[in-house]
Amino acid sequence: MTPMNEVTTINREQRAYSDAAKKFLARKPQLFINNEWVDSSHGATLDVEDPSSGKIVGQVVDASDRDVDRAVAAARAAFDDGRWSGLAPMAREKIMHRLADLLEAATDDFAELEAIDNGKPKGMAGAVDVPGAVSQIRFMAGWASKINGEVIQPYTIPDGAFFSYTRKEPVGVCAQIVPWNFPLLMACLKIAPALAAGCTIVLKPAEQTSLTALRLADLIAEAGFPAGVVNIITGNGHTAGDRMVKHPDVDKIAFTGSTEIGKLINRNATATMKHVTLELGGKSPVVIMPDVDIAVAAPGAAGAIFFNSGQVCIAGSRLFAHRSIFDQVIEGVAEASAFWTPRASLDPEAHAGPLVSKEQFDRVLGYIEAGKRDGASVAVGGGAAEAPGGGYYVNPTVLVDVNPQMSVVREEIFGPVVVAQRFDDLDEVAKAANDTCFGLGAGIWTKDVGTMHKLASKIKSGTVWGNCHAVIDTALPFGGYKESGIGREQGRQGIEAYLETKSVIIQL
Ligand code: ADP
């Protein structure tokens, strides 16, 4: 079986860019420090590549150590003199809402830049990424006015002799490092709680996808944030990112990316005992019980893996379907995969785009080949899609006849590849679902409410979805068990991650 759309040839030529995008791409590569666009200390740049065509379409700065130091110094000064944390919470909230309004008004611009830079369809970026980014800022803006300590009665001291309480204080200068799969959304998910808490920021987008973070800088200046509160630098992870992580004037690191780099960052941050939150990889199970409506669950399972071409940390990359319905589920996923056939990111008909880079394309195809070598059978897709004009298109792929020893079953592929397995009972599938070093998300499809709750409690992951997948809401904490991360983002816990707690004990 192959995706049905492959029967007809798809034109994967990238479409023309808007004048606004062309103008943005033609800008001189610069960094955003102290609310100003500044030159790098050296002339090094990184290419901006459009993965829909493989063409180089612009340049951004590859920040030097001196650039990083300059950005950190700006954030440090802005934090230490209280120009942001010292504002009334209402004033902080108002500026954040202004940023959200500006971003919302520019949805189309941001969606196009994201499509050009990352390869995701412009329609998806406009419907998912930009509104998601806006809601992160709006939700956290409200928290600026709800950060409270508490009065606590001491345990060993009689009442009235002392007055003691806790204060919640911003943690300080935050280095925030984000990945390439949801560049704008991740950037806003990171800056929003830090801003609400009163922290200052140096943000670095991934080297593959810097455009929307740079465009966001324009809006940050326009919204009225004091200088130095948000600084945005572009550059390589192993140089600029590493410098941020090790910098003595940085108080907290917030990172989203691979488990491998997350572990490295955690080790590097220890020398100066920085606060660290890490949102890392996953290999999320999707469990389909025999009582489901397959016409609903199978497209749900397809969307769980093929949305964003599988480049999602919570992608449902391990499908477990009950033995009695396994073949029908695979048939249903195969049919639904046609919807996710990759097209150029500015094609209005696209629901999925190319992978972000040649490196990722090679990596994903390498996994598919390894799966085949190890004995897996290809039920759907199984390789690259035709793209004579260039670009990194991989067809939605379903592998069956797999076993738990295969790399395709154990490792995060970060592409449109799902491995499908059969199961017989609840305990067996719970055990198999947990047989991974990751624990980020899980999907359960059943009409039986008892089964839903039982399985939700058995699966070790930061989020469990019932009869849906990858529904992310800014009010709900998000993070990982096991090697999928440390700490939680979003919700009340998301703001707590940017606060210190101080106890004050006063003898009366
Ligand atoms: P992926 O595997 O998804 O490409 P990475 O974990 O390599 O993701 O990268 C995610 C982010 O981490 C990017 O912004 C990248 O620049 C940054 N990064 C990579 N290596 C380091 C490092 N050694 N120190 C700090 N940041 C890094």
When the pLDDT of each residue in the chain is averaged and rounded to a whole number, the result is 97
Q: 11-21 pLDDT, tens per residue?
A: 999 999 999 99
The residues, ordered by sequence, that sit 6+ positions from 505 with a Cβ below 8 Å of its Cβ are: 154, 162, 164
Atom of ligand 1 nearest to the CA of 179: 10
The CA distance from 467 to 476, in Å, is: 17
Nearest C-alpha neighbor of 75 from the set 238, 204, 188: 204
pLDDT at 404: 96
Between the CA of 259 and the centroid of ligand 1 the distance, in Å, is 10
pLDDT above 80 (res 472) = yes
Give mean pLDDT, residues 352-363: 98
pLDDT at 507: 97
pLDDT category of residue 1 using cuts at 50, 70 and 90: very low
User: Does 313 participate in catalysis according to the annotation?
Assistant: yes
pLDDT at 497: 98
Closest residue by CA, ligand 1 atom 18? 237
pLDDT above 60 (res 2) = no
pLDDT above 50 (res 87) = yes
pLDDT at 5: 45
Given 174, 188, 199, 313, which residue is catalytic? 313
Number of C-beta neighbours around residue 305 at 10 A: 32
pLDDT above 70 (res 6) = no
Nearest C-alpha neighbor of 176 from the set 85, 240, 220, 223: 240
pLDDT at 9: 87
Residue 125 DSSP symbol: I
Portion of the chain with pLDDT greater than 90, in percent: 98
Q: What is the phi/psi pair of residue 418, to 5°?
A: -120, 140
Give mean pLDDT, residues 48-74: 98
pLDDT above 70 (res 168) = yes
Q: 116-144 pLDDT, tens per residue?
A: 999 999 999 999 999 999 999 999 999 99
Q: 415-436 pLDDT, tens per residue?
A: 999 999 999 999 999 999 999 9
Between the CA of 237 and the centroid of ligand 1 the distance, in Å, is 5
Report the amino acid identity of residue 370: A
Length of the chain: 508
Q: 324-344 pLDDT, tens per residue?
A: 999 999 999 999 999 999 999
Q: 195-254 pLDDT, tens per residue?
A: 999 999 999 999 999 999 999 999 999 999 999 999 999 999 999 999 999 999 999 999
The CA distance from 199 to 498, in Å, is: 7
Between the CA of 455 and the centroid of ligand 1 the distance, in Å, is 34
Tell which one of 60, 61, 177, 274 to mutate to probe ligand 1, the residue whose CB is within 8 A of the most ligand atoms: 177
Q: What is the phi/psi pair of residue 376, to 5°?
A: -70, 150
The model carries a pTM of: 0.97
Give mean pLDDT, residues 163-188: 98
Token pair belonging to 279: 């949102």
The answer to whether the CB of 393 falls within 8 A of the CB of 9 is: no
Between the CA of 260 and the centroid of ligand 1 the distance, in Å, is 9
The answer to whether the CB of 179 falls within 8 A of the CB of 151 is: no
Judged by phi (left if over 0) then psi (alpha if -120 to 50, else beta), residue 310 lies in left
The answer to whether the CB of 93 falls within 8 A of the CB of 113 is: no
CA Rg value for the chain: 23
User: Does 437 participate in catalysis according to the annotation?
Assistant: no
Give mean pLDDT, residues 388-416: 98
The CA distance from 508 to 193, in Å, is: 36
Nearest C-alpha neighbor of 237 from the set 257, 212, 251, 213: 257
The CA distance from 150 to 477, in Å, is: 22
Residues with CB under 6 A from ligand 1: 177-179, 204, 206-207, 237-238, 241-242, 245, 257-258, 261, 264-265
Number of C-beta neighbours around residue 374 at 10 A: 16
Given 49, 279, 412, 489, which residue is catalytic? 279
Between the CA of 157 and the centroid of ligand 1 the distance, in Å, is 50
Nearest C-alpha neighbor of 139 from the set 97, 99, 168, 98: 97
Between the CA of 261 and the centroid of ligand 1 the distance, in Å, is 6
The answer to whether the CB of 391 falls within 8 A of the CB of 400 is: no
pLDDT at 368: 98
Closest residue by CA, ligand 1 atom 27? 237
Q: How far is CA 365 from the centre of its chain?
A: 22
pLDDT at 298: 98
For 167-195, the three-class secondary structure string (H helix, E strand, C coil) is: EEEECCEEEEECCCCCHHHHHHHHHHHHH
Between the CA of 442 and the centroid of ligand 1 the distance, in Å, is 25
pLDDT at 107: 98
Atom of ligand 1 nearest to the CA of 177: 14
Helices (H), 106-258: 107-118, 122-124, 130-143, 183-197, 211-223, 242-246
Q: 289-333 pLDDT, tens per residue?
A: 999 999 999 999 999 999 999 999 999 999 999 999 999 999 999
The residues, ordered by sequence, that sit 6+ positions from 340 with a Cβ below 8 Å of its Cβ are: 3, 302, 303, 306, 307, 309, 351, 352, 396, 416
Q: Which helix (H) or strand (E) holds 429?
A: helix 426-433
pLDDT at 124: 98
